[in-house]
Every structure is written in structure tokens, then in C-alpha cells.
Amino acid sequence: MDRELKHDVVILGAGLAGLRAAVEISRRLGGQVDIGIVSKVQLMRAHSVCAEGGTAAVLRTDLGDSQELHAWDTVKGSDFLADQDVVRTFVETIPKEIRQLDHWGIPWTRDAEGYIAQRPFGGHSYPRATLAADKTGFFEMQTLYDQLQRYRNFTRYDEFFVTDILVHDGRFAGLVGLDTGSGETVAIRGKALLIASGGGGCLYGFTTYSQTVTGDGMAMAYRAGLPLEDMEFLQFHPTGLVPNGILMTEACRGEGGYLRNNTGERFMEKYAPKLVELAPRDMVSRAETEEILAGRGFKTPDGQDYLELDLTHLGADRINTRLPLIREVTIKFLGIDPITKPIPIRPVAHYSMGGIETDINGLTRIAGIWAAGEAACVSLHGGNRLGSNSTAECLVWGGITGREIAAALPGLGTAAALPAEKARGAEDHVRQVLARRGGENLYELRRQLRETMDSCVGVFRNGNDLARALKLIQELRVRSQQAPVADQSRIYNSNLIHALELENLVDLAEVTVAGALKRQESRGAHARRDFAVRDDANWLKHTLAFHTGTGPQLEYKSVTVDMWQPVERKY
């Protein structure tokens, strides 16, 4: 080990959840706590800056919205797989977070009367997506980082790739990883760890995710002994820009945009006559896929048939005021101005509803380890997340885990000793990856993995495709051992990082597909052609995947249902 460092609290991930937790810990302890913030990218390049459309919160009860209504929308949107006590905590907490950000100086968009502006989002029965134009995540990140500057109790470890979470005597001991700038192998000890490292959408080729979002925190937690929950539920956003997958925010439809097929028809009227384009994302993505499969999409030479997102009727003023980023992106990437022409879109891999199992306060099964944000599964989203609930979740559980860690620190004693054997094992693993020989190409393997997920584990699934995908993923794991790392240097070795990321992606793909194959029903984002209906009698339960030497071991636990019993989901 080249270096060993120590902090009271280690935060893995520097997006919304990680920064919100760092601020909360710091202010509760008056800055008298030593925090290490570890990020695989430069801090303000966390994927949270890509969140565009809004953050859901009940702010206008005087105009008819209510926390009960937000809770009902979330539970119904989840296809009744969300834990309802978690939903209750969420809707009660997020309005305070919105007002706190306002107090901290975020430039929320305002309406004509000066109130914080909100717009409609899919599956919500009231316009409660709180917005900062169409750059909401970016401004939330800026505001939190600005607030963190009030304290001098944190150390940033940017461009630091963590390879292992170490556990000793049943509690968190430390992280081991690569300082990519120096090439050193570094251990970071701590009393407490917050995993806030984001989702795993780069399992797919057509995705809205930054290419750095490879589910590393989830995969490491899985290998460290923590179960992953509900990983078969991966959200497909209805509007990914063709051909590159860049997110065309749901705010496009919240502001009144239409979805059209190749005949010009607003086809959502057939699938969700009440909410049309503002139905939940799983329903809109399935409707789009049905339209494309029926031949009503626009053809492309590479088979990436698309539909159109039409904003032209909104007018230049509204687009330039409320959707400026969307216009900028479509002009820069496609030469299309949405003021005058529709935008080509199709469903795109977007969000992990599943993640590291936690309790309602973000605590995992290992003492000293919490998880928050998209990396965690506190079970707010269940089978399908409503748009604008994601940034809200990051803020709520960033704050909650920050509070819990601050309260727990006095009882955690000193940082545990690093288990020498495991630390050496983590270091040796990197050497073994660098020593690989063979004729495989790790980039070709990564392409095949993502192609397999795109073709077999997409919007619609069936048992044969899932079984084939599982077999291919297991073969890719074996073949990856014959994929050499051509670059043998240690400084900024992206070749080595890609090899380690591939291992994480393969682990997550295996868990995702194994869970999907086992779940013989259709619920939320998990839609099976061979089991086309929701089966509450047998499948109203959460999937838990535990790591073993031969693949995931699947177990199940009950859903908390203490407000509303499941009913048929209609919009």
C-alpha cells in the first residue's frame, strides 16, 4: 500500500446525496468533524449536474396540492412496490429541503407572482416539479457545494477510483483505491462510510448516463456482503435523443410538448387517455415501443427507429425561457432547432430503482455503512420512479444520512484497523488485472455486454431472452480474464479503470438479469411478454441479491403496505 489516510467520515460519491450529507454532518457538528469526499471525477462533474427538469415537492397546499396526494402518486407510480412508510417520510421532508435550498441561494425559477415555479411531470396529479429552468440538478449541486465552502473540515479526493470496501469484525474499516493522478494505491480508513456513488445505467449502450456512471459503489457493496435490492427494475426514460441517448427532460412534456408517430398522431391518447404524454415513464416507454414495433416509427439505417417530441407549438419565448438547455443541446448535436422542428427520440436507459438495501434512515446491514441517493434502495420508487422524485430523494436522504452519521459518530469509537489480508487482496487484485494475458479485447466485451442488455433486458422482456442474457453475461465474466490491459503505466491509466469498471458492470448485469428472470410478472419498469400481468399474490415483495462465489443468491422480503392496498393502475 503506497499510502494510508484516515478520516472520521468517508463519503463515496460527490453528487447531490453526497454533498447534501457533507453539509448536514458539518453543520450539525459545527465543522468539528473530519470528512473525506471521494469522487472518481472532478467534484462538480458528478452525474447529478445532468438532472434537468425539476425536484418534486408539495409547496402550494393553498392551491390544492397535499402531501397525501404526493404520497399516493408515488405509491401508485411505483406499481405498489414502494415501502409506504418511506414514501411518507419523503413527502413530509422534501418541502423543507426546497425551502432550505432557497435560503441557501439557489436561483429557482419564479412565477409571475414571485412564488417558486413548479410544472407538471408524468404521474403527478399536481404540478409540483420545482424548477431552475431545465438545469435543476446543476444549480442544486452548485448551491450545495457553495454551502459546503462555509466549512474547512473536508478533504476532496477527486479522480480517485475506489476498488474495494473493506469490512473488519462486522463494521466498516476503509476503502482501497487508485489515486489516478499519482498512480498510487491508497487506503482511506474511517469510522463511517456513506455510499452515494450513483446508479448503473451504463449497463446499457443507449443510455442517458455519463459514461463514468458504472455502478461501482453498488458492485463493491455487493462484494463486501451487502444485498442489492430490486435491481431488475431499471427505468427507461421515454425521451432519449436519437442517436446518442442524451436526456430530453420530461419538462419538455411538462411544458406541453407532444409525442407523435410517423403519421403525426399524438399516440399517447390511445394508451393513457387521461394523462396522455404525462403518464408515468414506464407506461409512456412501453407505448412508444409498441408504436415502433407496429411500424409507426421513423426508420433509420441502423435500426434505431424513433418517434418525435414536438415542441414547435410552444413558441420561441417559452422554449428559450423554460427549456434553454434542450434547445442548445439539439442544435449542437443534431443541428435541429426545436422551435421549428420536432426532436427525434426513443426510450433510453435512465435510472436504477434498485440499489444497496438500507433501512428508512439509510443504514445498511454493516455497522458504520450508510447509503443514499441512486446507489441506495430505501425503496421509495418500487417498480417505477416518478419523474422529479430522484433529485428529491437525493436531497432527503442526503440530509437524513448526514443527520444519522453525525449522531452515530460518538458511539463508533476509533476507526477500525484495516484487515491486512483484505487490504493486500485488494492491492493484489489490481496487479492481477494488469497481468492479464489473452486475445480478448475489454472494450469489445463491454460493447457486447451493453448490446446484450439493450436487446434482451429492455422495455419488454421474456424468459428466453433473459436466460440467454444471463448465459452471455456469465461467459463475458470468464472471457474478461483473457482481456489484457494494454497500458501498463499507473498514472491516469484509463485502460485499467475501464477493466475494473467492466468487472463492476458484469456483477450488476448478472444481478439485474437473475432477478428479472426469477420475477414472473409485469410490474412497473419490469414488463414481461410471457407474464404480462402484475401478480400481487406471488410477487408483492422485494428481491434481495447476495453475493456468492457462484453468482447471486436471491431472497425476498415484504413490502411495507400501511396506507393503501394495491389496485389496478390506470391513468
- Report the predicted TM-score, pTM, of the whole model to 2 decimal places: 0.96
Domain-ending residue, one of 318, 333, 349: 349
**CATH number of the CATH domain containing 8:** 3.50.50.60
Residues with catalytic roles: 237, 253
Q: Cα separations (Å) of 157 from 46, 163, 265, 384, 504?
A: 13, 14, 51, 34, 21
pLDDT range class, residue 420, cuts 50, 70, 90 = confident
Residue 449 forms part of a structural domain: yes
Residues 44 and 166 in one domain: yes
Mean pLDDT of 458-462: 97
Q: Which of 418, 460, 456 is nearest to 185 (CA)?
A: 418
Residue for grid cell 474547512: 152
pLDDT attached to residue 201: 83
CA distance 151 to 128: 32
The residue range of the domain holding 251 is: 237-349
Cell of 353: 430503482
Give per-residue pLDDT as tens, 244-286.
Answer: 999 999 999 999 999 999 999 999 999 999 999 999 999 999 9
Structural domain tally of the chain?
3
Distance between the two ends of the chain, CA-based, in angstroms?
Answer: 57
Among the candidates 394, 412, 430, a domain finishes at: 412
Identify whether residues 344 and 360 lie together within a single domain.
no
Q: Got the DSSP string for 239-290?
A: EEETTT--B--THHHHTT-EEE-TT---THHHH-TTTGGGS-HHHHHHHHHH
Tens-digit pLDDT profile for residues 226-237: 999 999 999 999
The percentage of the chain sitting over the pLDDT mark of 90, rounded to a whole number, equals: 91
The verdict on 112 and 220 lying in the same domain is yes
Whether 122 and 103 map to the same domain: the answer is yes
Which positions ≥6 away from 187 have C-beta within 8 Å? 1, 3, 4, 5, 166, 174, 175, 176, 418, 423
Contact 251, 134 (CB under 8 A): yes
pLDDT confidence of 303, banded at 50, 70, 90?
Answer: confident
Q: Are residues 257 and 406 in the same domain?
A: no
Task: For residue 539, tell me if it sits in a domain.
Answer: no
208 near 281, Cβ under 8 Å?
A: no
In a shared domain, residues 33 and 103 = yes
Q: Is residue 550 part of a domain?
A: no
Residue 559 lies in a domain: no
The three cell numbers locating residue 224: 463486501
Confirm if 220 and 504 have CB atoms less than 8 A apart: yes
In a domain, 441, yes or no: yes
Over the range 506-520, which residues count as b (16 or more CB within 10 Å of their CB) and which as e?
A: bbbbbbbbbbbbebe
**CATH of residue 471:** 1.20.58.100
Per-residue model confidence as pLDDT tens digits over 490-536: 899 999 999 999 999 999 999 999 999 999 999 999 999 999 999 99
Query: 344: cis peptide before it, omega within 30°?
Result: no
Q: Are residues 226 and 241 in the same domain?
A: no
Confidence (pLDDT) at 377: 98
Same domain? For 379 and 519 the reply is: no
Of the residues 324, 349, 374, the one at which a domain ends = 349
pLDDT score of 1 more than 80? no
Q: Are residues 195 and 249 in the same domain?
A: no
224 and 242 belong to one structural domain: no
416: pLDDT strictly greater than 90 = no
Together in a domain, 392 and 459 = no
For residue 562, is it within any domain? no
Please tell me whether residues 278 and 160 are part of one structural domain.
no
Phi/psi of residue 322, nearest 5 degrees: -100, -20
Q: What is the pLDDT of residues 49-76, one digit of tens each?
A: 888 889 999 999 999 999 999 999 999 9
Domain assignment present for 544: no
Burial bucket for residue 3 (CB in 10 Å: 0-12, 13-18, 19+): exposed
15 in any annotated domain: yes
**Segment 124-168, tens digit of pLDDT:** 999 999 999 889 999 999 999 999 999 989 999 999 999 999 999
